[in-house]
Amino acid sequence: TKMLADDPHFGPYMSIPGKDNGFDIEGLAVHGRRLLLGLRGPVLRGWAALLEVEIDARDDHLRLAPLDNSGSLFRKHFLQLDGMGVRDLHFSGDDLFILAGPTMVLDGEIRLFKWPCAKPQLTANREPVRFVPALTESVALPHGRGVNRAEAVCDLPPELAGDKPSWLVLYDAPGPNRRDGEHAVFGDLLQHG
């Protein structure tokens, strides 16, 4: 967070609690040595953000590596998620799926968006700040009042999914319909192609 302290977009939000639209990293997606960090907050005038960084592994330590010849250590990608923040990120092929929901601890809509062909676009991009309005909404996810807030999405391994590619969606604060006793909770399986 030190390198963002003077950033015009994120610097002012560093002292605000994460769940009050302050700086809050919730999603992570990896592409080679590049990491995409999804921000639950801040959401700025309806735009959610991803930070792109490159990692260099030395001994037992990870360090930020320059993204280009100018020495930039991060790039900012602003996504139009209808005022929601990032809850999780997941690559499927070249596409990036973004689980989005309220920035604060509020009941509200939770949706899964798709950034088609994100990997080649990220690879080709050299701009320090980029706005990505052309996302496709994939699916609205169930949620309840104070319960069942989708928090994570991942591909289900083929040995569990059979011949139907599926995502597993897991929920924070599972309601009674998502629990089986004290030690078991249910997620959702979503088929994708």
Q: In whole angstroms, give the CA distance from residue 186 to residue 68.
A: 44
Tokens matching residue 54: 């490159």
Contact 21, 42 (CB under 8 A): yes
pTM over 0.95: no
Burial of 94 (0-12, 13-18, 19+ CB in 10 A): middle
Mean pLDDT of 35-40: 97
pLDDT digits (tens, 9 = 90+) for 99-128: 999 888 777 789 999 999 999 999 998 899
pLDDT category of residue 144 using cuts at 50, 70 and 90? confident
| 112 neighbors 138 (Cβ within 8 angstroms) | yes
CB burial of residue 59 (10 Å; 0-12, 13-18, 19+): exposed
Please state, in angstroms and rounded to a whole number, the distance separating the CA atoms of residues 113 and 179: 27
Instruction: Match 């602003």 to its residue by tokens.
Output: 78
- Check whether 138 has a pLDDT greater than 90: no
Strand 85-92 relative to strand 95-101: parallel, antiparallel, unpaired? antiparallel
With cut-offs at 50, 70 and 90, classify the pLDDT of residue 162: confident
Residues 131, 135, 138: CA angle, nearest 5 degrees: 155
Handedness of CA 4, 96, 120, 31 (dihedral sign): positive
Placement of tokens 């009042």 in the chain: 145
The order of strands in the sheet holding 166-172 is 149-155, 166-172, 188-191
Mean pLDDT of 68-81: 94
As a whole number of angstroms, the distance between CA 179 and CA 12 comes to: 40
Q: What is the pLDDT of residue 193?
A: 65
pLDDT at 66 (0 to 100) = 94
